[in-house]
Amino acid sequence: MSTAAILANPASGKDIRRLVAHGSVFDNQEKVRMVRRLILGLEQAGVEQILYMPDAYGIVPRALNAISPSIPVRPVEMPMKNTQQDTVQAAGIMETLGVDVMVVLGGDGTSRAVCKGTTRVPLLPLSTGTNNVFPFMVEATVAGLAAGLVGSGRLPLDQACFRSCMFDILIDGEPVDVALVDAAVYGDVFMASRAIWDMSKVPRLFLTRCRADAIGLSAVGGALRHIEPDDPHGLALTLDDSAEQRVTATIAPGMFANVGIGDVRDMQPGEVFPIDLSPCIIAVDGEREVEIRRGRHAAVRLRTDGPWVVSVSRSMELARKGGFFVKQSSGNRGE
């Protein structure tokens, strides 16, 4: 039985960048409406059942109040802590239950939490966060259709999806965390509100991808290079306020930073980049997460075996070429 999963983060789209920048609040009622359309798209594509991560707001149950899908939509049983760990645990449970595709509603941090739970199940990340480099800004109905075509087995995984790169964060040679888009060394010892907006405290920046139209820390690299998520290399930057070369980057909604660029290096898969600062904090995908205590040795390593990501454009084009949306009438045509 083909199964899709929905993991919707009720906390996404509400962080401190609404105060220090000009980010919009993405309220949970809008997520309810998105999930409603998502379910209809999954159903139309031929998915036979949908599982979902429960949450305190009840996003999926509220979505079901206004629709009556013909397929079962059920929560998974799991203890709830109302923390990021719920998403990590839910993703792992979905893999164990044999889910064929996951649709994730949130920002970069939510997708990262899913990938800490599993990178084996294809996912389609839908943007409902602040800095959204990993998730897609796409209509939920179409996203559900694309994810459903992959999850129901109607489209081949290797053509409808791409394999994204990611980072391992190492402490004393051992992996302790991951990043999907960026890892930034933050020259402070306080987690505080986690989000980063003061670039003067960032001496090193590592990117799995970057492009000029990105937002967030990857926009710094995007002023210099264009790297797609499945390109087998990354970018390591040394930031230096005294450097002659400077770039302007959109690091948050309505917020620009003028950043001095020192050393620029390509990152190859498996190559370890030591971090020569201790103590410090490493921010992953825009949020301060990993504390490096004095005397510990941190590093960043690029890997190419990240999550399979459903490409909406590829999936829909494959479906068009396969004639999935066209039906011929069987009635009499006359002569």
Tell me what the mean pLDDT of segment 321-332 comes to: 83
Residue 331 within any structural domain of the chain? no
Q: What is the pLDDT of residue 194?
A: 66
Pair (246, 155) in one structural domain:
no
Number of domains in the chain: 2
CATH number of the domain where residue 69 is located = 3.40.50.10330
Give residues with Cβ within 8 angstroms of 306, minimum separation 6.
115, 119, 163, 164, 165, 166, 180, 208
Pair (180, 244) in one structural domain:
yes
Pair (273, 127) in one structural domain:
no
C-beta atoms surrounding 247 within 10 Å? 18
The pLDDT tens digits for 197-216 are 789 999 999 999 999 999 89
Pair (235, 133) in one structural domain:
no
Pair (269, 281) in one structural domain:
yes
Pair (218, 239) in one structural domain:
yes
Pair (105, 244) in one structural domain:
no
What is the C-alpha to C-alpha distance for residues 256 and 21, in angstroms, rounded to an integer? 9
Pair (153, 20) in one structural domain:
yes
pLDDT tier at 94 (50, 70, 90 boundaries)? very high
Residue 326 within any structural domain of the chain? no
Tell me what the mean pLDDT of segment 31-39 comes to: 97
pLDDT at 16 over 50: no
CATH number of the domain where residue 258 is located = 2.60.200
Q: Work out the burial of residue 305: count CB atoms within 10 Å of its CB; fewer than 13 is exposed, 13-18 middle, 19 or more buried.
A: exposed
Q: Global pTM? A: 0.91
What is the C-alpha to C-alpha distance for residues 227 and 238, in angstroms, rounded to an integer? 18
Pair (288, 230) in one structural domain:
yes
Domain that holds residue 198: 166-303
In which element (H, E) is residue 257 found? strand 255-267
